[in-house]
A and B are shown apart, each in its own frame.
Chain A
Amino acid sequence: MTTLDSSPAIEAGPVLDATIGAGDGALVRVPAGGRLRIVDLFGNQAADTLLYDADDIDNRYSAFDTIREQQAVFLTTGSRLLSTRLDELAVITDDTVGRHDTIGGACAQESNVIRYGEHVRHQHACRQTFLAYGAAAGIGQRELGHNINFFMNVPVTPAGGLQFDDGLSAPGKYVELTASRDLLVLLSNCPQLNNPCNGWDPTPLQLQGWWS
């Protein structure tokens, strides 16, 4: 396992330090001002992520409001992650990858069938993980908006094209969010086997949190 960076600001040690296995997920409550780091332990592992205002889950992350207001398609350090009410939910305060997708959505059994054919219908997919971990907070199908895909690379072109590429991430790279208000972070460690978003081999992620 890769040794993690240890910058002076985090020497106190995280209050959350968990490994999320391939195909597993998490629902994490992050208080305002708290920092949540997602570490791509083995590289090229998509971390499908949704954010909710902990006090009102209808005030949730909005991919397309976020990219319009920053006038750029990819997320990186400085990106303000906005809600469907244009509230700032979190800011990306550190990123050793450089860019992350938010227009590619999450995999689901049903969209996998559309993309790859009927034979993949019963493969595990992010939507099941979102629904399983979201249930405790009342997050069901209607509460699933369009997500962030940390560590995933979905280039778009001036001609209006889009493709799924091999990731830019590598073992030990990470992204860090600072919560702008009390948040629920719903995460699926993507189990997709049919495209390069997980390097064809889903691997564990590490979640670390610093807050008081």
Chain B
Amino acid sequence: MALYTHEVPGGAAWSTPVKAGRLVTLTALGDDANCSVLLVGADRVDRMNIPDTLKAQMSARILPPMVLMSDRGLALASVVASTLDWHDCLGGFGHDAHLARFGASSYQADRNAWRRAARTGLVSELTKHGLGERDLHAPVNFFSRVAIGEDGSSLAFVPGHARAGDTVTLRTEQDLLLVLSTALHPMSAADLPAGVRVDVELAPAVGTDDASYTFRAESARALEMTRRAVA
């Protein structure tokens, strides 16, 4: 059952609490969209931890049916569906320095079309919830792909990876704080950031035949630890 829809314009940032048991679908509203996402657990301290997520599931990218894990070894959300099989988690968020190629931009000159970096927006949103710069962990850059060269010796942004209409759906495994920015990926050469639509709906009941449970023993254990934490 659909609960609500919210469109985030390109270059903006947003945060919202999302209760456990929801499907959150992000939809790219233009080519080369990027959505840098941070997740914080129900206690608003326990952050999504990308290194722990990667090493538990032996991956250097995010794709279904991986479980996004926290500092304290809990499942925060499961990636249940996506039209893309690669979402970047190595490139980090963009800084003001990455906007230099566009020249000066300000609210005075450009009003709400002014250029803002992901970091600025993410820190602002975190701070609204009593968190802040110290809580910055690595984000998932949904819709973006950074190609890994042979033996990790190079990293290169892949233009054209995401097209308008591409989607990714997360299932919340506990009450979360969702923090996101639609600023350009820091390695992107695109001119304008695309917007992202967020659709939130109730998730169907999950059984132990769920793809994220059966993916790996590690993903099942993270989901089990969350079940215990919220029991």
Report which A residues bind B (CB closer than 8 A): 58, 62-65, 67-68, 71-74, 84-86, 103-106, 108-111, 113-115, 117, 141-146, 154-158, 160-164
Contact = CB atoms under 8 A, between A and B. Distances in A.
Nearest to B123: A84
B72 A160 contact: no
Contact of B71 (A74, A141, A163): A141
Contacts of A84: 119, 133, 136
B56 A111 contact: yes
A103 B60 contact: yes
A72 B152 contact: yes
B92 A65 contact: yes
A86 B98 CA distance: 11
Contacts of A73: 90, 148, 152-153, 155
Contacts, number: 133
A205 B217 CA distance: 33
B19 interface: no
Contacts of B155: 67-68, 71-73
B218 interface: yes
Given A68-B187, A71-B154, A113-B221, A104 B55 contact: yes
Contacts of B71: 108, 110, 141, 144
Interface residues of B, number: 50
Contacts of B55: 104-105, 111, 115, 154, 162, 164
Nearest to B185: A68
B151 to A, nearest CB: 7
Contact of B138 (A114, A146, A162): A146
A64 B90 contact: yes
B148 A142 contact: no
B60 A114 contact: no
B87 to A, nearest CB: 10
B95 A162 contact: no
A105 B218 contact: no
Contact of B218 (A103, A115, A141): A115
Contacts of A68: 90-92, 146, 155, 186-187
Given A73-B90, A163-B58, A58 B138 contact: no
B67 to A, nearest CB: 9
Nearest to A62: B92
B143 interface: no
Interface in B192-207: none
A158 B90 contact: no
Those 6 A-B pairs whose CB atoms lie nearest each other, nearest first: A105-B51, A110-B73, A73-B152, A64-B92, A160-B61, A156-B60
Nearest to A73: B152
A63 B138 contact: yes
B90 A115 contact: no
User: Which of B54, B86, B146, B147 has most chain A Cβ within 10 Å?
Assistant: B54
A142 B135 contact: yes
B134 interface: yes
Contacts of A141: 45, 71
A156 B97 contact: no
B212 interface: no
Contact of B147 (A142, A143, A158, A163): A158
Contacts of B56: 111, 114-115
Contacts of A117: 217, 221
B95 A64 contact: no
B161 interface: no
A157 B225 contact: no
Nearest to B221: A114
Contacts of B134: 58, 142-143
Given A142-B134, A160-B61, A164-B55, A114 B186 contact: no
A187 B92 CA distance: 23
Nearest to B187: A68
B148 A103 contact: no
